[in-house]
């Protein structure tokens, strides 16, 4: 769980509102809307590695969901 949380926090630091990779000005809009200062460094993203990492995240979340059982995790109404 700690490794998963750290990875998700890193993704959030790069793309806080999940728009940085969707729109040409996504990163600028992303950080201003989230009221977060953009990083002062340039990121180079290996999209193949990102894809593989996100696949592992989804598999881990699916496993957590399955192990929690039907009453363990509830979606807010």
22 touches 5 (CB < 8 A): no
Nearest partner of 45 among 37, 53, 33, judged by Cα: 53
Per-residue pLDDT reduced to its tens digit, 7-63: 888 887 777 777 667 766 777 777 777 677 766 777 777 889 888 988 998 898 888
Does this model's pTM top 0.75? no
């Amino acid at each position: 769980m700690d490794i998963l949380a750290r990875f998700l926090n890193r993704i959030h630091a790069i793309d806080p509102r999940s728009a940085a990779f969707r729109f040409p000005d996504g990163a600028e809009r992303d950080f201003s809307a989230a009221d977060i200062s953009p990083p002062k460094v340039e990121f180079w993203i290996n999209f193949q590695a990102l894809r593989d990492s996100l696949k592992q995240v989804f598999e881990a979340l699916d496993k957590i969901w399955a192990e929690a059982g039907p009453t363990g995790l509830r979606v807010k109404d």
